Amino acid sequence: MSEQINNDKQEPIIFVTDDRFLRERRNLDPVDEQMMREVAQVGEVIMMSLAESLEAMKEEDPEKFTEFQKQQESQVGGALTIAEIAELASGGDERKQIYDEYVALALTERQATQIRVWRTRWYYSWRGIARAAFGRVISKEWGAWRLWYPPTNQVMGMSLCDRAARYFGENYQKPPWN
């Protein structure tokens, strides 16, 4: 009797995000939930941080990892650990730098406190933070802030958390923020 090979089996989908609460599927924004439903319809989903995905690349495709590592190291002129490569790769987003500058000028300590509650007590994803803050901007509760689009802009949520964490001498990429 011959063995039938199932060629229909799909590889798992690797979903890379450094948002711990998105990976843990905590208090997700409706956009996060819809995105996760759509991805799950395609197949099995494995959630990873950027550093975890780099570790997996290093094991599964060492040549590809080495090439990526060389590209990143050429930017700084020296050897980098996986954690440093992940930080360099995620920190190069020009939009985040623009949002960071804007948020640094606009965010008050009171707003930072509210963001800290949303993130560390209510476990909002970064998109959820952006949406909640957008609601405060529309209602004029946050004064003369400019609006951003979409309201659930994940990068804006990251910038809001980054600046808010700094008010408390904390890092938005580390506990209790992430």
Q: How confident is the model at residue 138 (pLDDT cuts 50, 70, 90)?
A: very high
d(CA 53, CA 86) in angstroms, rounded, equals: 9
What's the confidence (pLDDT) of residue 79? 82
- Give the type of residue at 164: A
Residue-wise DSSP of the chain: -PPPP-TTPPPPEEEE---HHHHTT-B--HHHHHHHHHHHHHS-EEEE-HHHHHHHHHHH-HHHHHHHHHHHHHHHTS---HHHHHHHHHHT-HHHHHHHHHHHHH--HHHHHHHHHHHHTS-B-HHHHHHHHHHHHHTTTT-SPPP-SSTT-HHHHHHHHHHHHHHTT--TTSTTT-
What's the confidence (pLDDT) of residue 176? 97
Tens digit of each residue's pLDDT (9 = 90 or more) over 101-134:
999 999 999 999 999 999 999 999 999 999 999 9
What is the domain partition of the chain in residue ranges?
50-91, 94-167
- Give the type of residue at 119: R
User: Per-residue pLDDT for 154 more than 70?
Assistant: yes
Q: How confident is the model at residue 100 (pLDDT cuts 50, 70, 90)?
A: very high
Tens digit of each residue's pLDDT (9 = 90 or more) over 50-69:
888 888 888 988 898 888 88
Angle between helix axes 94-106 and 154-167 (nearest 10 degrees) is 50
Higher pLDDT, 7 or 87: 87
Closest CA to 90 of 32, 19, 175: 19
| Cβ neighbours of 51 (radius 10 Å) | 19
d(CA 167, CA 169) in angstroms, rounded, equals: 6
Q: How confident is the model at residue 9 (pLDDT cuts 50, 70, 90)?
A: low
Q: How confident is the model at residue 71 (pLDDT cuts 50, 70, 90)?
A: confident
- Give the type of residue at 138: I
Give the contacts of 57 (CB within 8 A, at least 6 positions apart): 64, 65, 68
